[in-house]
Structure 1
Amino acid sequence: MKTAALLLILLMMLSACAQSRASKIDEVREVVIVAGYEQCPRPAKPELKPLLEEMHLGSRENVDRMMQNIVELLGALKAMNSTIHCYEIQTGRADEK
């Protein structure tokens, strides 16, 4: 029982010290943006055609739709890479690759 009382008193003393040490920010610091970037073009979202549910996966129509979707995704990937390259040019990291 003595140990519990001693630990309780010690805990109360530590919590009192912790509250008195809390600091308040008296001043507001201004943040200055050093580097400015131009916004690069955002690539368009690819329009993917859904597969025909009434046909099986290997049907000619579904295979054609999958191939068209792959072409759309490759075009979107190239557009995303060009946007990344645009930002890398602005940061000077385009030559590192």
Structure 2
Amino acid sequence: MRTYQAFALPPGRRPRYPQEAECSCRGCSFDDVRHARDVLDEVLRQLPSRARAELVRRMASLDAGYLRRTLPDPFAGQRQWRPDLWWRRRLAGRWEGS
């Protein structure tokens, strides 16, 4: 949640670009904010309805910030392994901060 929040709600107005993790180990995989959002989506599916509703409310502003600060990728269907997930259909860069 912290990784997603830090990416989705930073100060400023410039576009942000999700980055692939430089290392494929379990801990470093969270360097890719899209993976963090994947995990949050899985958590949502596993939670009981009351807890799920609370988390959905908390994530609504984060999702809006993510959409506002990222740009659509017109070729996401060809590039992404999960183009059905809206957060994976956004333009990405190579390294964080580029």
Which of structures 1 and 2 has the larger relative contact order (alpha carbons within 8 angstroms, sep 6+)? 2
Q: Give the TM-score taking structure 2 as reference length.
A: 0.24
Q: Give the TM-score taking structure 1 as reference length.
A: 0.25
Structure with bigger gyration radius: 1
